[in-house]
Amino acid sequence: MPAELIDGTAIAREVRSDVARDTARLIARGIRPGLAVVLVGENPASAVYVRAKGKASEEAGMHSVTIRLPADTTQAQLFEQVDRLNADPAIHGILVQMPLPKQIDSQAVVRRVRPEKDVDGFHPVNAGKLLIGERDGFAPCTPAGVQEMLVRSGIETKGSECVIVGRSTIVGKPMAALLIQDAPGANATVTICHSRTVDLGAHTRRADILIVAAGRPRFITGDMVKPGSVVIDVGINRVDDVRAKNGYILVGDVDFATVREVAGRITPVPGGVGPMTIAMLLKNTVRAAELASAELASAGAAA
């Protein structure tokens, strides 16, 4: 029997509904969560993503700001925008859309955003908090979305063998850090595989939960998967297809056709992990507003 699909679109809808409810609760207290997205240049994929983020935040009732800068923006000019947003009390979350033009140091920009407004979860302070299990930081949205998906799908992670294919700082490493914590949706035994792993299939066939973020289309095939396992496909790749209207189709890092015949549950591409990323960005922004509010209240009480 083919694997059951894990519907990321439906789960993301649930998360966004929770975000809208929490936003309304904060607005009733005089706090409107604010998200600012900065786009430098005209990368088509980035522009589509930024529009989606702006629309989603507005639908949730948030204060939404989108700043578009030309492709020849200097690093100093981008820093000026980030500093202004850092100082703006109406903005609780800041996201600088990647990739950035080559004249700008992306890591320097990540570090320029104040950690308490880094709702993308990439600042070294937030990365460190995630690793040691501190709860007042922000996890990157895609791995946080995968964890949320597992929890809401009723998939048991405690004691599970979890294999992650890919060691990026965007997905692989923070995914591992989330799953090894002593917390709900975690307590897994985690293995990270990468381009230098010997006999990759020997590892992936052990996995109760297999999370693939390798950046290689249809990389994981059915013979590499444990029967009945949960397969989470984080990848999204354009593959030429003359039969498609646009001349290409979107596929994951998992060979969906063969893996679905072996796995117990699987995420599709598109419609799996992708919608969860924006949903978790909104969730992080609400948390940022709540933490800022608590800090203001504490400061007022101390005064």
Q: Which residues are catalytic?
A: 53, 97, 120
The answer to whether residues 97 and 81 touch, using CB atoms and an 8 Å cutoff, is no
Handedness of CA 251, 60, 70, 92 (dihedral sign): negative
- Alpha helices of the chain — where are they, by DSSP H? 8-28, 44-59, 75-87, 106-112, 124-132, 141-152, 172-179, 200-204, 256-259, 274-302
282/288 Cα distance (integer angstroms): 10
Question: What b/e sequence results for 271-284 when a residue is b if at least 16 CB atoms lie within 10 Å of its CB, and e otherwise?
Answer: bbbbbbbbbbbbbb
Calculate the CA dihedral of residues 143, 144, 149, 150 and round it to 10 degrees.
80
Write the DSSP string, 242-298: TTSTTSEEEE-SB-HHHHTTT-SEE--SSSSSHHHHHHHHHHHHHHHHHHHHHHHHH
Which CA distances in Å does 135 have to 103, 119, 129, 186?
A: 35, 14, 7, 14
| SS3 (DSSP) at 111 | helix
